[in-house]
Amino acid sequence: MEGRWDPEVLAGPLAAMRRAGAAEPRGGRVPFAAVVEVDADAADIDRLVSWYGRKP
């Protein structure tokens, strides 16, 4: 993804993502697609959007 994202801005959503629990199962009351795999060294924004089932 092009552009720069402030790590401080992403810190809150990334922490919430980690507290959310398991990535699976998705569906039912979870309005997101399955987690998209990204590299371990992916940018924070890519990890965040992939958690919500979007391809970075």
Which pLDDT tens digit goes with each residue over 30-55?
778 888 999 999 999 999 999 888 99
Amino acid making up residue 7? P
- Check if the beta carbon of residue 42 is closer than 8 Å to that of residue 50: yes
More confident residue, 3 or 40: 40
For residue 12, the model assigns a pLDDT of 93
Q: For 4-21, what is the mean pLDDT?
A: 86
Scan for tokens 């552009």, then name that residue. 3
Domain ranges of the chain: 27-56
The model carries a pTM of: 0.71
For residue 1, the model assigns a pLDDT of 47
* DSSP string for 19-44: HT--S---BTTB-S-PPPP--TT--H
